[in-house]
Homo-oligomer: A and B are copies of this chain.
Amino acid sequence: MTDIKQARILIMSTDGFEQSELMVPQEKLTAAGATVEVAAPKSRMKSGKIYGWDKDDWGKTVSVDKDLEDVDPAEYDALILPGGQMNPDKLRLEPKAIEIVKAFYAAGKTVAAICHAPWLLIEAGVIKGRQCTSYASIKTDMINAGGEWRDEAVVTDKGLITSRNPGDLDAFSAKIIEEIEEGVHAGRRQAA
């Protein structure tokens, strides 16, 4: 059991995140009393911010707290991966980003990905045999990776949380709090 007020949560992202998918969970978890930090690749640290995407164009920026290279997964209770078409596609090419996903997953910590961010779960090799959802366009990639894909607002499989799109953000955020409070998730099936 983890008190959400004591929880430390990492949001991992880069330019082109779907604005609401970073900012809504960030706001809701902060309001619930958690400590929330944002990590981004070194290339983003010069300006100290990353650029969101709002429907058809660049949107608001979000401050970055930490270089991906300096992230120690042991310091956090949960990992949140916002979507957008560009952000997770760029992070797939960052070995440290994939290493971070694997480390949170292997430690049984809550891992939450929405929209196109489940691509990072594919890249980390943690989708095989897992109940999951995603943005509709990447459904085929999720199934080809061995995921058991469902068209639901939020799907949870032993602390691995996935949602489809910004319309699911309330359910996604509430489930993150619930799963963090449950504590470490034992019994995750290993990828074959």
Using a CB–CB cutoff of 8 Å, the interface residues on chain A facing chain B are 16, 57-58, 85-86, 89-90, 92-93, 116, 119, 122-123, 136-138, 140-141, 144-146
Contacts and interface: CB of A to CB of B under 8 A. Distances in A.
A137 B122 CA distance: 11
Given A57-B58, A85-B85, A85-B86, A122 B93 contact: no
Given A89-B138, A144-B145, A144-B146, 19 more contacts: A85-B85, A85-B86, A85-B89, A86-B86, A89-B116, A89-B137, A90-B137, A92-B138, A92-B140, A93-B136, A93-B137, A119-B141, A122-B140, A122-B144, A123-B140, A140-B145, A141-B141, A141-B144, A141-B145
A35 to B, nearest CB: 31
A134 to B, nearest CB: 12
A144 B93 CA distance: 17
A86 B58 CA distance: 13
A137 B116 CA distance: 13
21 contacts: A16-B85, A57-B58, A85-B85, A85-B86, A85-B89, A90-B137, A92-B137, A92-B140, A93-B136, A119-B141, A122-B140, A122-B141, A122-B144, A123-B140, A140-B145, A141-B141, A141-B144, A141-B145, A144-B144, A144-B145, A144-B146
Contacts of A141: 119, 122, 141, 144-145
A177 B89 CA distance: 31
Nearest to A84: B85
Q: Please provide the 10 A-B residue pairs with the shortest distance between their CB atoms, ordered closest to farther.
A: A144-B144, A92-B137, A141-B141, A85-B85, A89-B137, A144-B145, A85-B89, A85-B86, A93-B137, A123-B140
Contacts of A57: 58
Nearest to A137: B92
Contacts of A122: 140-141, 144
